[in-house]
Structure 1
Amino acid sequence: MTDDPGASGSDGSDGGQVVERKAAEEAFELLSNDTRLGILKALFQTDDPRTFSELREAVGMRDSGQFNYHLDKLLGTFVRVTEEGYELTTAGTRVVGAILAGEFTKTFEGDPVPVDGECQLCGAQLAGSFEGNRIRIACEDCERDVISLNMLPGALEPYPREEWPLVAERWTRRELEMVRAGFCPTCRGPVDSEMTVDQSDLVDLFEAVVTYTCRRCTMEMSANAATSVVPHPAVVGFLHDHGVDVEGTPLWKLEWAVSPTGRVVSSDPVRVEIPIDADGDRLVLVLDEYASVIDERREEDRGAPNQS
């Protein structure tokens, strides 16, 4: 990943550029009215543009003048008008999505949920706890975290409570895939990845930890080096050859992914090896200082099986 502030015409040259149409405070002030939120929800509920009359009827406001006033406030930022009628902009769609997800209004509460899995370090039972907007899958004995991150409460709401840990695990994978692709899950800004081998709270457990940091909002996410390569095609293919469905197996049941598997073979330049064993065969990935896979090799017929 490169940092080139002059790329894509951001200096006002040949290419396009992103401009700020409205201050954030002004944009959020537009939403401080029930009628305006009702307009956004009404447009969200249909795939087709709505005429003025259809939209006013859907919102349930009789006063045409008042309705037009509130609708006009949303135009350009959250609503656009076409020849067919009114429809949501991308920003309008995201606002309604955030409301439905409970991003501003909902929270987790309740007792821990048992997890069908054991701690790969001490063998004790895992449990899922959900408090505020935070999810945590951890060992009940040594209290080591397997998963710990923020999650939108609305993402769990449709599921029975006993399924929450598995839903949270799928959410974690999507977050990891997003930062690996270079996008911040919080603000969608650019994310840099760095392999840390000597200065992390997690280094007490793991030799190598990947830290993902957003350049815009400074969001930071960490994962041990082995967890970071779970979705890598070489890993998926290798384990598929040995009957393991990586996508369908919870992280806490992929022993190599949540154990101190990664080993630092060089600190200058940083090189970390991730060995993955299955049925006597081994896949070894080599990661650089940016947590990119720069080499991979298979070692076959190593002896006793040690799958996933």
Structure 2
Amino acid sequence: MADGGDSGAESEPGGDDAESEPGGDEPEGGIVERVSAEGAFELLGNETRLATVRALFEADDPLSFSALRDAVGVRDSGQFNYHLDKLRGSFVRETDGGYALTAAGAYVVGSVLAGQYTKTVTGDPVPVDADCPYCEGSLAALFDEEYVRVACADCDRNVISLFVPPGAFEDHPREEWPAVAERWTRRTFENYQHGFCGICHGPVDPHLELDPPDVHDVYDAGVRYACGRCGDDMFANVEATVLSHPSVVAFYYERGIDVAETPIWAFDWAVQPTASVVAEDPPRVEVPVEHEGDRLVLTLDEHADVVEERRA
């Protein structure tokens, strides 16, 4: 390799030893499909293979072939090797110490434990220690098959509504389920705010909507986070979108309140139609953040970015 001095050897231009210029034919790297989607589901559609990835997930260290076979409970080493070979590269990797899961393998087991494909949440509503922001009713967590809603027991308006994997609730007392659902919703929502789709992890494009059709009878503005890959989207009232903004977090921190540890329904301004449309072309919306007489006003642009803030 040339280092700028006399290397003691010479190469003809374009010969075997010629170095590639930047921007030449050298590969730049990219996303490579390791296995097709159909192939991945087919690999896991077998009891022995699924038991294999679970055994590796539960192991503290890589397992040898014999130890892994014992853990799965297959006597025939040839048969087990056949199934293990199918998993190699995609869900299982070989290390110096034996077999271990790839990241994809760990995610597969995690999805099984979370119950995303195999479980559902049922049962009576769980009361929430908060009043409805729209009427004088009380909030409760409602379980509608795949979705969990925190809504008013009287007017049925939602405060939050989102799919929550059943496994998220399993290690919590039932009375804590509304708080669990709220934390999961906020976590998922922040993923969209940071540009990642909650379904396919594709790029998300946020945009401000005036008179949104989803809640046009309640809110004057909202933010839609649309995925450019799968087309999925998430919608939120514009007030709720600024709750995690640094200026809002700091505003409450100065007053002894941790926004991250406080459920969204404790912030009246975030769950009520308090925002004002101050311009339509391009759209601008002001969101007032209030606490005991103190006031912070944020202005959002058409991309749902905060472009101005002022204390009032």
Alignment TM-score, normalising by the size of structure 1: 0.90
Instruction: Give the Cα–Cα distance (whole angstroms) in 2 for the partners of residues 122 and 238 of structure 1.
Output: 28
Paired residue type of 1:201? D
2:70 matches 1:77: no
- Is residue 203–residue 209 contact of structure 1 (8 Å, CA) maintained in 2? no
Instruction: Give the Cα–Cα distance (whole angstroms) in 1 for the partners of residues 60 and 216 of structure 2.
Output: 50
2:216 aligns to what SS in structure 1?
helix
Instruction: Give the Cα–Cα distance (whole angstroms) in 2 for the partners of residues 266 and 179 of structure 1.
Output: 25
> In the TM superposition, what whole-angstrom CA distance separates every residue of 1:11-58 from its partner, at most 9, and x where no partner exists?
x98632112222211110011111101110011112422111111111
Q: How does 1:44-123 map to 2 (within 5 A)?
A: 44-123=57-136
Q: Give the corresponding residue for 2:299.
A: 286
Q: How does 1:117-156 map to 2 (within 5 A)?
A: 117-156=130-169
Q: CA deviation at 1:178?
A: 0.5
- Is residue 275–residue 285 contact of structure 1 (8 Å, CA) maintained in 2? yes
Q: Give the corresponding residue for 2:278.
A: 265
> In the TM superposition, what whole-angstrom CA distance separates every residue of 1:181-202 from its partner, at most 9, and x where no partner exists?
0011111111111110034221
> In the TM superposition, what whole-angstrom CA distance separates every residue of 1:183-242 from its partner, at most 9, and x where no partner exists?
111111111111100342212211110111111121111111110111111001101212
Q: CA deviation at 1:244?
A: 2.4
Cα RMSD of the aligned pairs, angstroms, is 1.4
Instruction: Give the Cα–Cα distance (whole angstroms) in 1 for the partners of residues 305 and 68 of structure 2.
Output: 50
2:217 matches 1:204: yes
Which of 156, 170, 195 is residue 208 of structure 2 equivalent to?
195
Tell me the number of residue pairs that the alignment of Structure 1 and Structure 2 aligns. Answer: 288
Instruction: Give the Cα–Cα distance (whole angstroms) in 2 for the partners of residues 164 and 281 of structure 1.
Output: 32
Q: CA deviation at 1:82?
A: 2.0
Instruction: Give the Cα–Cα distance (whole angstroms) in 1 for the partners of residues 301 and 146 of structure 2.
Output: 33
Instruction: Give the Cα–Cα distance (whole angstroms) in 2 for the partners of residues 255 and 20 of structure 1.
Output: 47
Question: For residues 168 and 13 of structure 1, do their structure 2 counterparts lie closer, same or farther at Cα, with a shift above 3 Å needed?
Answer: farther
- Is residue 200–residue 209 contact of structure 1 (8 Å, CA) maintained in 2? no
Q: CA deviation at 1:61?
A: 1.2
Paired residue type of 1:97? G
Instruction: Give the Cα–Cα distance (whole angstroms) in 1 for the partners of residues 144 and 292 of structure 2.
Output: 40
Identity across aligned pairs (percent)? 56
Alignment TM-score, normalising by the size of structure 2: 0.89
